[in-house]
């Protein structure tokens, strides 16, 4: 991660104080700058430590403890918590807790892979349409973004109406499917609703990338006799790749934390759509904070691992496609595109 640091000390700027030895003065300047940088970023570090570092450490600690749950002779719950080491993690390897955990783990992974794949494909398609639309481009773009703007809980309720036994989905299919009951149909309902909601997000990011591709590139390709498909695969895809990868990364991290859509659309305690977040929530709701923290920690590690692998992959890809692009189109289009992304 590169941070925006203070500008490097310019050698032309005269420094205060006497200059005995240029080497030591440079060293001192460097030290001063380092100190200044440390001073300037310290509030950020402190805030991050407070809102990110502390909760993570607290969750890690909590996951090693267990609330006492037994009742004493008078029917009162025993107070306090006890240290149980890695018991909550070991419990996940077998037994009922393990079964439920792995089910949630696979559901989470399944939803992530399926929804993100479909959203990427649809998102690119949407972006191409939006890019091509000449008249009413603003309107098309705004309308495509509507699903993304609706709060997830609200869209879950909307889809619940659609997927009711007497809902629109069944009316169109002409077949009575009980979507919200346990089984594959519930998973399908979640996937459809999620793709509907977040494909526009991918679409919008990709559109930003598309708009940065100069038209000359396509003109040159056409002169060389490239067909539409070839242009798409050889020019468009490589050139939107950095933007696309960022969009996919965001979606991956989001999908791994999926909670409200299955929770509202299908309901709690339904094994076929229970994700890791829902599992952690359920344990916490039943005041078993230890296991809840353990699930949350595992989800955190999972998300972190996926992000790490992806960023590594992304970095490598940006680099190689950069070279490839430079070779192919003899222009450095990559860099401006990459810096535009966060905006």
Partner 1 sequence: MGPQGMKETTNMRHWLPKAGMAVLAASLLAGCGSGSGSEDAGSKPPSFKGRGPITLATGKDTTGVMDKVLDQWNSTHPKEKVRMIELSESADEQRQRMIQNAELKSGDFSVLNMDVVWNAEFAANRWIVPLPKGEIDTGSMLKPTVEAATYRGNLYSAPWTSDGGLLYFRKDLLEKAGAEPPKTWAEMKKTCDKVLKLPEAKGMSCYAGQFDKYEGLSVNFSEMIHGAGGSVVDKAGKPTVNTPEAKKGLKWFADAFKDGTIPKEAITYKEEEGRQAFQKGDLVFHRQWPYQWALANAKDGSSKVAGKFNVAPLPGLDGPGTSSLGGHNLAISSDAKNKATALDFIKFMTNKENQKKRLLLTSQAPTNAALYEDKELLKKFPYLPTLKASINGAEPRPRVVQYGDATAAMQEAAYGALSGKTSPDAALAQLQKKLAGVNSK
The least distance separating partner 1 from the CB of residue 263, rounded to whole angstroms, comes to: 10
| Positions in 180-199 near partner 1 (CB under 8 A) | 180-182
Q: What are the beta bridge partners of residue 83?
A: 65
Q: Which of 71, 171, 304, 316 binds partner 1 (CB under 8 A)?
A: 71
Closest CB to partner 1 among residues 164, 231: 164
Is residue 76 near partner 1 by the rule CB under 8 A?
A: yes
The region of 46-54, 86-94, 107-115, 262-270 touching partner 1 under the rule CB under 8 A is: 262-270
Report d(CA 111, CA 256) in Å as an integer: 8
The least distance separating partner 1 from the CB of residue 306, rounded to whole angstroms, comes to: 29
- Using DSSP, state whether 77 is helix, strand or coil: strand
The region of 38-46, 130-138, 173-181, 192-200 touching partner 1 under the rule CB under 8 A is: 173-181
Tell me, by CB under 8 A, how many residues bind partner 1. 25
Given the structure tokens 């940065």, which residue do they identify?
212
Report d(CA 283, CA 262) in Å as an integer: 17
Is residue 47 near partner 1 by the rule CB under 8 A?
A: no
Torsion angle of the four alpha carbons 151, 154, 158, 163, in this order, in degrees rounded to the nearest 10: 100
- Using DSSP, state whether 139 is helix, strand or coil: helix
Closest CB to partner 1 among residues 119, 282: 282
Find, among 97, 265, 148, 130, the residue nearest to 208 by Cα. 130
Q: What are the beta bridge partners of residue 67?
A: 81
The least distance separating partner 1 from the CB of residue 262, rounded to whole angstroms, comes to: 13
Q: State the binding string over 284-323 for partner 1 (x if CB under 8 A, else -).
A: -xxxx-----------------------------------
Report d(CA 177, CA 170) in Å as an integer: 6
Report d(CA 32, CA 25) in Å as an integer: 10
Residues that bind partner 1 (CB under 8 A): 69-71, 74-77, 164-166, 176, 178-182, 267-270, 282, 285-288
């Amino acid at each position: 991660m590169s941070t925006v640091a203070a500008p490097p000390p310019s050698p032309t700027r005269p420094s205060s104080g006497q200059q005995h030895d240029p080497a030591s003065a440079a060293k001192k300047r460097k030290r001063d700058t380092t100190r200044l940088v440390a001073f300037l970023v310290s509030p950020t570090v402190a805030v991050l430590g407070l809102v990110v570092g502390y909760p993570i450490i607290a969750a890690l600690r909590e996951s090693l403890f267990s609330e006492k749950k037994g009742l004493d002779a008078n029917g009162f719950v025993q107070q306090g918590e006890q240290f149980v080491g890695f018991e909550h993690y070991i419990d996940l390897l077998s037994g009922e807790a393990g079964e439920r955990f792995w089910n949630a783990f696979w559901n989470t992974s399944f939803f992530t892979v399926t929804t993100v794949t479909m959203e990427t494909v649809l998102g690119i398609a949407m972006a191409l349409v939006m890019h091509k639309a000449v008249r009413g481009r603003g309107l098309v773009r705004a309308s495509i973004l509507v699903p993304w703007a609706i709060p997830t809980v609200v869209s879950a309720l909307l889809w619940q109406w659609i997927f009711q036994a007497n809902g629109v989905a069944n009316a169109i299919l002409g077949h009575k499917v009980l979507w919200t009951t346990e089984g594959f149909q519930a998973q399908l309902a979640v996937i459809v609703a999620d793709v509907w909601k977040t494909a526009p997000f991918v679409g919008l990011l990709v559109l930003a990338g598309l708009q940065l591709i100069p038209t000359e590139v396509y003109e040159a390709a056409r002169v060389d006799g490239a067909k539409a498909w070839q242009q798409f695969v050889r020019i468009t895809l490589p050139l939107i790749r950095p933007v696309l990868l960022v969009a996919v990364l965001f979606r991956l991290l989001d999908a791994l934390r999926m909670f409200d859509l299955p929770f509202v659309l299908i309901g709690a305690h339904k094994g076929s759509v229970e994700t890791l977040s829902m599992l952690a929530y359920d344990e916490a709701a039943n005041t078993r904070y230890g296991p809840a923290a353990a699930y949350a920690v595992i989800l955190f590690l999972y998300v972190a691992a996926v992000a790490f692998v992806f960023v590594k992959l992304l970095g490598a890809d940006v680099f190689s496609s950069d070279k490839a692009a430079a070779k192919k189109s003899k222009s450095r289009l990559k860099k401006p595109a990459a810096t535009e992304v966060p905006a």
